[in-house]
Amino acid sequence: MRARRFLIRAGILITGLWMCVLAIPQAGSADPLGPDCSDTADSCEVGVEVPGNDGGSGTDFGEWGEEAPSAGGGVDPGPFADCSFTVVETDAKTHAIAGDRPKGDYELVVETCTSAAGETIKRAEWVAAGADGQVLIDPALLAQQAVDRLTLPRPGIAASPESVQLVNLPTWLAVTEASWEAQTAEASLGSQVATATATPVQAVWDMGDGHVVTCADRGEEWDPGTDPETEGPCGHTYTQPSAEELDVQVDITWHITWEVVWPGESVSGTSPDMTTTEVESWPVIESQSLNQQ
C-alpha cells in the first residue's frame, strides 16, 4: 500500500529579522529609498515573519498598534497568511498608529497582515509623496509581499514502476508536469507592481536505501514500448530487497526571482530558494516474489 505525506518548506528563513516596513522617498525624487533602521530614524522597526515558517509567541508586536494580539496572551500571531499595502486617503492630522502627520505632502500607508490564526495585524506610516504625487515604498518590501503570495504545487510522483520496485530492475523517476510549472504572484501599491516568480530547478530523490539521486529536470516516465531493463535519464536501481517499505522522498528546489515596476523605473532581484517535498512508501522485492503472487 502506498503511503503519502506532503510538506512545503519555505526557504526564506527571516523569522525575527528586524526591518523597516516603509521607506520614505524624498520629495522631488521618483526613486524609493532603502529602509533606515538606525536608532535615530523616524521609521519603524517591526518583527517580520514569512508565511510557511513557524512563528514564535515571544515576538514583540507592540508597534503594530491596538489590533495586535499581545505576546504571551495565548495567541500566536504568526505565521502571516498574507500582507498588503494600502494608501488611505485622509485629511487627518494624526493617526492612532502612525502618529502625527509631518509637514508637507504626506500620505497614510497602512500594511495589513492576516495571521494563520485569523488575527488582523496592522502597521501604519506617513509616507512622503514624490514630485509626481506618487507614494513609493522600498521595492524590496513590496517584492517580499509578492513572494509571500506564491503558491507552489504539490509534488506528484510519477515513477515507473508506480508502487512496487523490483530488485535489479531500473526505477524511472519523475514528478508530474503540474509539479514542474513556474508559478507567479503579484503585489501592488498605487503605481508600483511587484511580480514574484518561482521556477523549479532541481529534483533530489532520497531513495530510502542510502542512495540520493539529483535530477536537473522533472525526470521522465517509462514508456511501455521501452525495454524494462533500460535505465531512465533520472532513475535508480535497487540491489537488495527491503524487509519493510522504504520511504522515498523527493525535494523540488524553486528559484525565486522578483521584479518591481512603476512608471519609468524597474528593480529586480532574487529571494532565497523554496522547497516542496513529498514522501511515498515503496516495497522493494525480488522479481520472483512478484511472479509467485
Spatial contact of 153 and 276, defined as CB atoms under 8 Å apart: yes
Express each pLDDT in 81-111 by its tens digit. 577 888 888 888 999 888 999 998 888 988 8
Q: What is the pTM of this model?
A: 0.67
Calculate mean pLDDT across residues 56-62.
Answer: 26
pLDDT of res. 73: 28
Cα 31–chain centre separation: 27
Q: Tell me the percentage of the chain whose pLDDT exceeds 70.
A: 70
Highest mean predicted confidence (pLDDT) among 131-140, 162-171, 245-254, 279-288: 245-254
**Does residue 178 surpass a pLDDT of 60?**
yes
Nearest CA to 17 out of 141, 116, 126 is that of: 141
**Does residue 5 surpass a pLDDT of 70?**
no
Q: Name, in order, each residue with C-beta under 8 angstroms of 155's C-beta and a sequence gap of 6 or more.
A: 6, 175, 176, 179, 250, 252, 276, 277, 278
pLDDT of res. 80: 56
pLDDT of res. 288: 62
pLDDT of res. 141: 86
d(CA 241, CA 281): 14
pLDDT category of residue 147 using cuts at 50, 70 and 90: very high
Phi, psi of 287 (to 5 degrees): -60, -35
As given in the structure block, the three cell numbers for residue 76 are 500566536
**Does residue 28 surpass a pLDDT of 80?**
no
**Does residue 71 surpass a pLDDT of 80?**
no
Q: What is the mean pLDDT of the chain?
A: 74
**Does residue 24 surpass a pLDDT of 50?**
no
15-19, 197-201, 208-212: least confident range: 15-19
d(CA 166, CA 153): 30
> Which tops the pLDDT comparison, 115 or 293?
115
Beta bridge partners of 194: 187, 260
**Does residue 219 surpass a pLDDT of 90?**
yes
